[in-house]
């Protein structure tokens, strides 16, 4: 493969990635506490990482509708209008990932 300049790499299982020194050194796999699952979740870090513009993962996906009340009220909806939208199913709230618990 090398003589033909074909890019290739070993295919890593998730466990191989967790144990591999290169992935550990680059902090490729991180964990964060998930409020819904009530446990730490392992996930990929932001790739690529930039020295002068660092990124980070601080939480998972929010629950459906987590910020709907605040956003709709900020743009002018009254609390009772937001509740009506919720009752009619126009907006909804609930866990984004039900299978994590």
Reported as a single tens digit per residue, the pLDDT across 29-66 is 888 888 777 889 888 888 888 889 888 887 777 778 88
pLDDT band at 78 (very low <50, low <70, confident <90, very high): very high
pLDDT of residue 101: 45
Distance CA 96, CA 31 (A): 18
Distance CA 7, CA 1 (A): 7
For the chain, give every domain's residue range: 1-60, 62-94
pLDDT of the residue at 80? 95
Checking DSSP bridges between strand 39-44 and strand 29-34, what pairing results, if any? antiparallel
Count of Cβ atoms closer than 10 Å to residue 82 Cβ: 19
State the average pLDDT for the chain.
Answer: 85
């Amino acid at each position: 493969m090398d003589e033909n300049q074909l890019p290739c790499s070993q295919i890593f299982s998730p466990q191989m990635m967790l144990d591999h020194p290169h992935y550990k050194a680059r902090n490729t796999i991180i964990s964060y506490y998930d409020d819904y699952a009530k446990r730490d979740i392992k996930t990929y870090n932001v790739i690529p990482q930039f020295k002068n513009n660092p990124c980070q993962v601080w939480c998972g996906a929010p629950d459906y509708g987590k910020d709907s009340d605040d956003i709709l009220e900020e743009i002018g909806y009254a609390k009772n209008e937001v509740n009506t939208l919720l009752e009619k199913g126009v907006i909804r709230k609930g866990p984004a990932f039900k299978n994590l618990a």
